[in-house]
Amino acid sequence: MLVEEKKDALKLKMKEVFGFSQFRGNQEPIIRNILEGKNTFVIMPTGAGKSLCYQLPALVSEGLAVVISPLIALMKNQVDQMQAFGINAHFLNSTLSKAESTRVKNQCREGLTKLLYVAPESLTKQENIDFLKSIKISFVAVDEAHCISEWGHDFRPEYRRIKDIIGHLGNMPIIALTATATPKVQLDIQKNLQMENADVFISSFNRTNLYYEVQEKVHAKKKLIKFLHDNNHKSGIIYCLSRKKVEEIAELLKVNGFSAAPYHAGLDSSIREKNQDDFLNEEVDIIVATIAFGMGIDKPDVRFVIHYDVPKSLEGYYQETGRAGRDGLEGHCLMFYSHNDILKLEKFNKDKSVQERENGRILLQEMAYYAESPVCRRRQLLHYFGEEYDRKNCEGCDNCVHPRERFEGQTAVAKVIEAVQATDERFDLKHLVHLIRGTEDQYISSYGHDQLDIYGSGKDETKEYWRSVIRQSLMYEFLKKDIENVGVLKVSDKGRKFLKNPHSVMLAGDHTYETNPAEEEEGDRPPVNAKAYDSELFQLLKNLRKKVAHQKDLPPYVIFQDPSLEEMATTYPTTEAELAQINGVGMGKVKKFGKPFLEAIDKYVEDNDIVTASEVVVKSSVNKSKIKIFIIQQVDRKVDLDEIAETQNISFEELLDEIENICYSGTKLNLDYYIDDILDIDKQDDIIEYFLNSETDSIETALDDEDNEDYSEEELRLMRIKFLSEYAN
């Protein structure tokens, strides 16, 4: 009877403070475990209600609950929430002034505070340890406990000292919580916190309301804008690899009419705080943030999470995607994948210790496998965290909704299992691939594996093929990971049974992403030499350009240059706004020459039943950069070009580069006031006559022409700007 009363009292308190009538999942047994003074280890996915597991027992326990958290943003967010619920909670971290810290400590000493969030760095300061020794502490919660492990995705050395510091504070229960712990990381956490005997509560990692999708990172900005148009006014987060990319994407979204704000550690704290609050208060729809900087935003109605750049690990990816759909409603998780991002991240690790580099390499390898694998993405994520998924089709990821072609893999899987057994279950995927393919390798020969029957038995297939078969054998539980030895593969009971009684196993080919770096960068245009354009349309547009040029008595390149035609034959612009976004066009040229080209493209699209992203017009913020606006304004005011270059602290050649970019984007610039001082009218007419009759506007070609031998490269460039402004724009 007494137990039931306590149970009811807990529920009443939860309803009174948090407004919840029922516990979710393992919340109740976890809370009771803490209240009974037992060490507790909680592995619960993002959005499943971890915070309540320490917040509710803190309220009903005598004394102060200390919550160790690595994320300053998360502390603020949670303290704001607690105070909104009428709970006296505070945080102690580097953002507080001396006076503010003293005020927080006094409230704790007076017993007014129930929850104190502390950054691990603050916990290591002797003055804070002395302060915590002076008050009664009910229990310590270690949030984001995966930071303890070198194999976690966000290892923090200061987390290794937590157990020693807690020991100085007295004998009290510890609750460690994490949303992203592989079996190996779970083991590390328990050992470091000396919690091997703790009660462990593991909730399912399956977020059934989330849809997982990976797209190749080609024309990513266009794909991003299209996705956002399709999900307009929904709340979302976009993760990027660098602060620079965060700023660039945030600006891109604003230029294209979306309500977006940046969020990264380089911003002034007041701006960062404002952007976070604006996002939480629905003043801003989209936050663009660095992967490296944890946001700690607990917003229930985030409808999508986009990784514009590849995350450093599957743990990070899972945690970040977990910010979507916390209210149980739909959440779309989209990642743009390029192996170039993996290579960039590997370069970032080059200055780290050998062990850290190796750890980082393995985490990135897992990330690449996830993106490239044809296996259900949900199955892959759950398997990574030690949970198996039995359904053949989750209906909630791109690999299940759009499955790849399958093939019979019985013989290949058997060969893989035999290879693992033949090498005594002591080696990793790379070694097994080399063994099966018969690769001459010093490790293979040093272990004598080149003498095994299995050596070279799969030489007719590529290393990518065998790597995929091994990964899929792992996913389908014919193999298993050795928790103690990272990377080592062993044969499971299911695998042994399979060898005795083989049966059909359907496998699929991996996704192949052969992204060229140029396809990912600014403008997301395919490189000219990639021939990615529609050659038939390109030829049609070239013929049309020749006709228009003849009618206007101009060289064809003045109308549109070849790269512009190639881009038109790639993106099929059918409106003035779309055509104006083509490199080297701009609205000036659209108005002057665009009509027949738009009509031709529109007819071609209709005749060939081509689906275009006509609703997506990616407006570029490049031409709105401060330096370009400044140059246009100064030229309009007839300011000497040398003076403009000096003011901007750039060379005259760099200034001409900028002016040419402006001109090629379709903006008319009148440099007569400057040119008239260095070239008389007759000479200007001679150069204009040259460009009118030339087949190209190449300066190199112009310099080689004997008629131009009296002119410098600088003079020819200036006259080309004048010529294009008068005739092309």
Digit-coded pLDDT (tens) for 149-177: 766 666 777 777 888 888 888 788 999 99
Q: If we measure between CA atoms, which residue out of 112, 183, 106 comes closest to residue 149?
A: 183
Tell me the C-alpha distance between 356 and 124, whole Å: 23
Average pLDDT over residues 226-230: 90
Judged by average pLDDT, the poorest of 328-332, 561-565, 613-617 is: 613-617
Query: Taking a C-beta distance cutoff of 8 angstroms, is the pair 118, 91 a contact?
Result: yes
Residue 329, classed as helix, strand or coil, is coil
**Residue 523 has what pLDDT?**
44
Q: Taking 90 as the threshold, does the pLDDT of residue 557 lie above it?
A: no
- What is the CA angle 119-28-299, rounded to 5? 50
Tell me the C-alpha distance between 56 and 571, whole Å: 56
Residue ranges and CATH numbers for the domains of the chain are: 2-202 (3.40.50.300), 210-398 (3.40.50.300), 405-508 (1.10.10.10), 525-607 (1.10.150.80), 622-727 (1.10.10.1390)
**Residue 582 has what pLDDT?**
82
At residue 623 the predicted structure's pLDDT band, cuts being 50, 70 and 90, is very low
Residue 694, classed as helix, strand or coil, is coil
* Percent of the chain whose predicted confidence (pLDDT) is above 90: 36
At residue 490 the predicted structure's pLDDT band, cuts being 50, 70 and 90, is very high
At residue 1 the predicted structure's pLDDT band, cuts being 50, 70 and 90, is very low
Digit-coded pLDDT (tens) for 127-148: 888 999 889 999 999 998 888 8
Q: pTM here?
A: 0.66
Residue 488, classed as helix, strand or coil, is strand
Average pLDDT over residues 290-299: 64
**Residue 137 has what pLDDT?**
92
Please list, in sequence order, all residues whose beta carbon lies within 8 angstroms of the beta carbon of residue 361, skipping any fewer than 6 positions away.
346, 349
Q: Taking 60 as the threshold, does the pLDDT of residue 393 lie above it?
A: yes
Beta bridge partners of 491: 479
Q: Taking 70 as the threshold, does the pLDDT of residue 332 lie above it?
A: yes
- What is the CA angle 630-635-641, rounded to 5? 95
- What is the CA angle 674-675-677, rounded to 5? 75
At residue 4 the predicted structure's pLDDT band, cuts being 50, 70 and 90, is low
Tell me the C-alpha distance between 325 and 333, whole Å: 10
Highest mean pLDDT among 265-279, 452-466, 671-685: 452-466
Find the farthest-apart pair of alpha carbons in the chain and give their distance in angstroms, rounded. Answer: 107
Average pLDDT over residues 387-399: 90
At residue 294 the predicted structure's pLDDT band, cuts being 50, 70 and 90, is low
Q: If we measure between CA atoms, which residue out of 230, 176, 215, 214 comes closest to residue 44?
A: 176
Please list, in sequence order, all residues whose beta carbon lies within 8 angstroms of the beta carbon of residue 26, skipping any fewer than 6 positions away.
42, 44, 201, 203
Intra-chain end-to-end CA distance of the chain, in Å: 87
Tell me the C-alpha distance between 547 and 543, whole Å: 6
Q: Helices 220-230 and 243-255 sit at what angle, rounded to 10 degrees?
A: 50
Q: Taking 70 as the threshold, does the pLDDT of residue 297 lie above it?
A: no
Report CA 115 to chain centroid distance, whole Å. 33
Exposure letters 268-302 (e unless 16+ CB within 10 A, then b): eeeebeebbeebbeeebbbbbbbbbbbbbbbbeeb
Phi, psi torsion values for 239, nearest 5 degrees: -100, 135
